[in-house]
Amino acid sequence: EAQVTQNPRYLITVTGKKLTVTCSQNMNHEYMSWYRQDPGLGLRQIYYSMNVEVTDKGDVPEGYKVSRKEKRNFPLILESPSPNQTSLYFCASSSGQVTYQETQYFGPGTRLLVL
Amino acid sequence: SQQGEEDPQALSIQEGENATMNCSYKTSINNLQWYRQNSGRGLVHLILIRSNEREKHSGRLRVTLDTSKKSSSLLITASRAADTASYFCATAPGGYQKVTFGTGTKLQVIP
């Protein structure tokens, strides 16, 4: 089954404790992206990757890191989480350039609470 | 600031009625997409309209795009209770791979 998976689905952590949220897709997609969703703000793009070893900032990259060492995986790293990073996070992938006719497939989301 | 802004923010209708939601954006685009989200779950792609298209249909969905006004509308005809969800538009400005989502319209369809 074609899908985007994220782990963990729920995470409670404390300020400053490094964490990684994993994202994996089995569709051989080139483009992958991370979003955060906050009430009243919709989805905001954090980082995206157009292919292995090619990443770029979205609209809200501060406090986050990403890497793309393999085509299928795109982990999101919070080196020193803060309470303002409490949010619902989504990973997404698409088969080509999203500026053109490619749609994105979303993972189920990771709900993060930073105390 | 958000590239896409939907209105209304919330919409409540009776089953069988039509639902219309609008999206405005700020910069030129290659395409505009509409997504649906059921209560905190992942988004599901509904329909994509290219910048050189004015109208597109998919089942009970009808999307229009007016690039001169930088706006799009999504019409759901003969709504069903299962259409209850939040709807988002997403745009990718020409030449860039960034994607911007609007703040969404929360639709409630009352049986």
* Residues 69 through 98 of chain A touching chain B, CB cutoff 8 Å: 88, 90, 92, 97-98
- What's the whole-number mean pLDDT along residues A72-99? 91
Quick: pLDDT tens for B71-103.
999 999 999 999 999 999 998 776 557 788 888
pLDDT bucket at A98, cuts 50 / 70 / 90? low
pLDDT of residue A97: 59
Residues A78-82: contacts with CB under 8 Å, at least 24 apart: A78/A18, A78/A19, A78/A20, A78/A21, A79/A18, A80/A15, A80/A16, A80/A18, A81/A13, A81/A14, A81/A15, A81/A16, A81/A17, A81/A18, A81/A19, A81/A112, A81/A114, A82/A15, A82/A16, A82/A114
pLDDT of residue B2: 38
Residue of A nearest to B102 (CA): A42
pLDDT of residue A91: 97
- What's the whole-number mean pLDDT along residues A10-27? 97
Which residues does chain B have with pLDDT short of 70? Answer: 1-4, 94-96
pLDDT of residue B30: 82
Q: Which among B98, B100, B103 is the top mutation candidate for probing chain A, defined by the most A β-carbons within 10 Å of its own β-carbon?
A: B98
